[in-house]
């Protein structure tokens, strides 16, 4: 299943609008409650280029650390972005999480629960 809403990247105002561009920084996303079968991989996909621009083939792989799936990526801080988690099953099939795309403002850490 693909994202339910039209892919979009929410951007800060252009630099010529009087503000300087947003500073880039590491953003760690943590995901809990993912039901997985052996050999499956959790991925993060979204609007920003760092998240694959909604192309699942360019999604970012997450790493299991204790009971949370985590990934750290560089994004413009304090700028909203759309994203969604998905699972690549051992046979290669993709399972997008249910519901609308998630939206968050890039901050040092974003905690999520699978839906």
Is 79 within a domain?
A: yes
pLDDT class for 3, splitting at 50, 70, 90? Answer: low
Residue 25 included in any domain: no
Query: Strands 24-32 and 109-113: what pairing?
Result: parallel
Tell me the CATH number at 52. 2.60.40.10
Count: domains in the chain: 1
Q: What is the pLDDT of residues 62-91, one digit of tens each?
A: 999 988 999 999 999 999 999 999 999 999
Q: Is 8 domain-assigned? A: no
When pLDDT is averaged across residues 37-58 and rounded to a whole number, the result is: 96
Domain range holding 103?
30-110
The Cα–Cα gap between 85 and 112 comes to 10
Q: Is residue 73 part of a domain?
A: yes
Domain for residue 105, yes or no?
A: yes
Q: What is the pTM of this model?
A: 0.80
Structure tokens at 58: 């360019």
For residues 94 and 97, give the distance between their C-alpha atoms in angstroms, rounded to a whole number.
10
How far apart are alpha carbons 27 and 106 in whole angstroms?
6
Q: pLDDT-derived band of residue 2, with 50, 70 and 90 as boundaries?
A: low
60-61 and 109-113 as β-strands: parallel, antiparallel, unpaired?
A: unpaired
């Amino acid at each position: 299943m693909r994202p339910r809403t039209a892919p979009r990247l929410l951007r800060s105002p252009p630099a010529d609008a009087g503000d300087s561009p947003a500073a880039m920084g590491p953003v760690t996303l943590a995901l809990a409650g993912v039901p997985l079968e052996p050999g499956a991989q959790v991925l993060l996909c979204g609007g920003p280029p760092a998240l694959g621009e909604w192309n699942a083939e360019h999604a970012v792989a997450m790493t299991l650390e204790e009971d949370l799936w985590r990934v750290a990526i560089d994004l413009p801080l304090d700028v909203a972005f759309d994203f969604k988690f998905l699972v690549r099953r051992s046979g290669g099939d993709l399972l997008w999480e249910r519901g609308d795309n998630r939206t968050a403002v890039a901050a040092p850490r974003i905690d999520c629960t699978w839906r």
